[in-house]
Structures are given as structure tokens and as C-alpha cells.
Amino acid sequence: MPLFDFGGIKGVLFVKNKTKEMTRKVSRIFFGLYLLLLIYWMFFAEEWGRSMLSGDYHYNLVPLREIRRYLVYYEQIGLWHVLWNLAGNVVGFMPFGALLPLVGSKRLGFWKTVLYSFEMTLLIEISQLILRVGSCDVDDMILNTLGGCLGYLVYVLIIRPKEKNIEEKKV
């Protein structure tokens, strides 16, 4: 008698578990690569002004100050720069919110994903403040956390249904 009867329930559970395991492994690889890219982008990308050698260091601890400044003075700042900063902070954290529910053995819900997005952003901003790299900005925390939320929405609307489809097709 074979260990798994692929015509019965044991076989279905085996295939579903293998699919989840493979999804988790691939997600962990992508999540790790994303985190490495994020660390480079936040701390080492000199083309983004990430250098410890610059003289003046600027930070913002007043919520919505920089977002408002970008929106009010977009003509002087330039629409491209405004979009790059505001949308870039949101879009840059969407992979975090989309991949995070996939990497653990237990799927995270919305609020835990929001909390982890906020915590990761807080860690980055405090590190930037201490290391004087880039700029510590509470508005970045707001935008990054929003990006994590939108990433979770991408997970719920696009990734999770495809994941379930793959599981059903393999059965």
C-alpha cells in the first residue's frame, strides 16, 4: 500500500502542503532579495543622497509637513520630483505588504501586516536618524505604511486567489 493515496484525502493534503511549502520558499527568496534592495536603497544608494559624508542633515518629525509641502509647492519642486518622492515611498513598500503574508508558516492578516510595515519603517527611519544617512521623516513612515497596506491589498486581490487556483489545479 503506498504511503499517499493520491485519489484520496491524504493525497489532496499532501499536494496542498507541498504547494504551500514551495510558495513559502519562493516568497522567502523574493522577500530576502527585496529586503537587500531596500537596505541598499535606504542606506547606500549615493545617487539618492544616501551618504554619511554630507555635511548638513535634515529630518522631519512633524506629521504631514513634507507631504503638504510637496503638494503645495509641486510647481516649484517639479511634478516628477513630487511623484517620485510621494508615490515612490508608497510603491517602494508595496512588495513588503504583498510578500509578508506569504513568508511565514501562518498567513498574516491585515492588521499584523500594517503593524510590521510600520515597525520596519520605524526601524529604517530611526536608523537613518542615528546614522545620519538619507533623512528621517515621519511622513515617510506614513507613506511606507500606506504602501504596506496597499501591498496587502495586492496580496488579497491578486496573489491569494492565484495561490488558491494553483492548489486547486494540482489536486
d(CA 152, CA 14): 27
Query: Element (H or E) spanning 42, and its range?
Result: helix 9-43
Asked if the model's pLDDT at residue 52 lies above 70, the reply is no
Please compute the mean of the pLDDT values over residues 109-115 and round it to a whole number.
97
Tell how far CA 154 is from the center of its chain.
11
User: What pTM value is reported for the model?
Assistant: 0.83
CA dihedral 165, 166, 167, 171 (to 10 degrees): 100
Q: Check residue 104 and give left, alpha or beta (phi > 0: left; psi -120 to 50: alpha).
A: beta
Q: What is the pLDDT at residue 18?
A: 78
Cell numbers representing residue 52 in the block: 554619511
d(CA 25, CA 122): 27
**% of the chain residues with pLDDT over 70:** 81
- Cα separation values, 83 from 70, 77, 79, 91, 153, Å: 9, 10, 6, 11, 21
Please compute the mean of the pLDDT values over residues 131-155 and round it to a whole number.
95
Q: 104 with 93: CB under 8 angstroms?
A: no
Query: Element (H or E) spanning 59, and its range?
Result: strand 59-60
Strand blocks (E) in 121-170: 136-137
Please compute the mean of the pLDDT values over residues 56-79 and round it to a whole number.
93
